[in-house]
Amino acid sequence: MTGHPEREALLIAGRSGVGKSTVGQEVSALSRDAGVAHCLIEGDVLDHVHPAPPGDPHRSAITERNLTALWAGYAALGHRRLIYTNTVSVLEGEMFERVMGAPLRLVRVLLTADDATARARLTVRETGSRLDAHIRRGALMARRLAEQAPPDTVRVPTDGRSVPDIAREVLAFTGW
């Protein structure tokens, strides 16, 4: 080891409509183009189960269980870098330490967008019945994340910016 932790996780968080998944995909593409080994996990799919498992109303245990299984597969292939996107991922550092082990370097990035930007993006993305729910929940989560994100969280505004520009800024924080 050359002064770097054995494992690293880039946690990309933010309200609905801020561009987490899109930016995560672009960070992955830029990393691939640079020859940087990594894996990408979209956290929203890890708890997509109905009804919630017994005793796990917020689905946090099933998220951790599924993340553990996915990470084990990637780690068995020799991966040590994870790009993870999920609304509250910057608040879940302890889960990543349990799943990935120590030493672990966490890079926490909170993508931000104003209400109008988030609404415009969600209107394009959400063509089903959940648009209003995503808008309401997104505004609540934006406030929660602004208040509760750990001090080492880097805030990256996305309003009026291109995805490649945002992804380059996010990737720069990793040093990869």
Residues for the chain: how many in total? 176
Quick one: pLDDT at residue 124? 84
Q: Is residue 131 part of a domain?
A: yes
Q: Is residue 95 part of a domain?
A: yes
**Contacts (Cβ under 8 Å, ≥6 apart) of 87:** 13, 14, 15, 16, 20, 43, 44, 141, 145
The 10 Å CB-count burial string (b at 16+, else e) for 84-107 is bbbbbbbbbbeebeebbeeebbbb
Contact 10, 107 (CB under 8 A): yes
Instruction: State yes or no: pLDDT of 69 exceeds 80.
Output: yes
Q: Is residue 1 part of a domain?
A: no
| Cα–Cα distance list, 54 to 62, 98, 131, 151, 164 (Å) | 10, 22, 28, 34, 41
Mean pLDDT computed over every residue of the chain: 93
Domain residue limits at 136: 7-170
Q: Is residue 176 part of a domain?
A: no
Instruction: State yes or no: pLDDT of 3 exceeds 70.
Output: no
The residue-averaged pLDDT of 4-30 equals 93
Phi and psi angles of residue 157, each rounded to the nearest 5 degrees, phi first = -70, 140
Q: What is the CATH number of the domain that holds 113?
A: 3.40.50.300
The count of domains in the chain is: 1
Distance between CA atoms of residues 142 and 169, nearest Å? 20
Quick one: pLDDT at residue 4? 55
The residue-averaged pLDDT of 54-75 equals 97
Dihedral of the CA atoms 17, 58, 141, 83 (nearest 10)?
-60
Distance between CA atoms of residues 97 and 105, nearest Å? 9
Q: Give the helix/strand (H/E) hosting 117.
A: helix 115-125
**Tens digits of residue pLDDT in 83-111:** 999 999 999 999 999 999 989 999 999 99
Q: Is residue 127 part of a domain?
A: yes
Paired with 116 in beta bridges are none
The 10 Å CB-count burial string (b at 16+, else e) for 132-163 is eebbeebbebbeebeeebeeebeebebeebee
